[in-house]
Amino acid sequence: MTQATDLHEPFKLLIEQHRGIVFKIVNTYCFDPDDRMDLAQEIMVQLWRAFAKYDGHRPFQTWMYRIALNVAISHVRTTMRRGMRPVQLNEDLHDLPDDPGDQLLTEERISALQTFIAAQNELDRALLLLYLDDHSYQQIAEILGISESNVGTKISRLKQRIRATC
């Protein structure tokens, strides 16, 4: 049995358990469905290439986010200079209000947040994505390769800009 064959099943199981990460990232960094597919495929290729070096003592989710975000940021820097549309984040939202008036207000806020996120640079989008996904500052710092205090400062500044904008 080759090393690739030995790694195939564990890789497949871990990817199935954490496939939402790829979904969130491609929807945050790509606005065209074809680009989303291309980016998702590129993320999967890079995850597979790096999997043999994955340290099982560390959280898979952190490792996966780090690689997927690096691929997405690289993709944006090299190919995403076309028209931008708001990010579609509503797939992960729960418990929208039952009252149509409240729901309309909530949808307006979501739209404003999506527009705000789409206008941010690659690092700030990654910070917001991880923050909105309830990652700790420590996890965000590890994934993005910056200090925890830098994460806290950047998120605080982003929150201020969101309040001012949305």
57-90: pLDDT as tens digits: 989 999 999 999 999 988 877 764 544 443 444 4
CA distances from 43 to 22, 34, 108, 148, 160 (A): 7, 14, 32, 26, 32
122 vs 110, which has greater pLDDT? 122
Looking at residue 93, its pLDDT comes to 40
Helix, strand, coil % over all residues of the chain, rounded to 5: 75, 0, 25
Mean pLDDT of the chain: 81
Architecture per CATH, domain 1-85, reads as Orthogonal Bundle (1.10)
For the beta carbon of residue 2, count every other beta carbon within 10 angstroms.
Answer: 7
Q: Tell me: domain 98-166, CATH 1.10.10.10, correct?
A: yes
Distance of CA 1 to the CA centre of its chain: 35
103 vs 114, which has greater pLDDT? 114
Q: 145-160, pLDDT tens digit by residue?
A: 999 999 999 999 999 9
Q: Where are the domains of the chain?
A: 1-85, 98-166
Q: Is the pLDDT of residue 120 over 70?
A: yes
Of 99, 102, 100, 153, nearest to 123 by C-alpha is 153
pTM of the model: 0.65
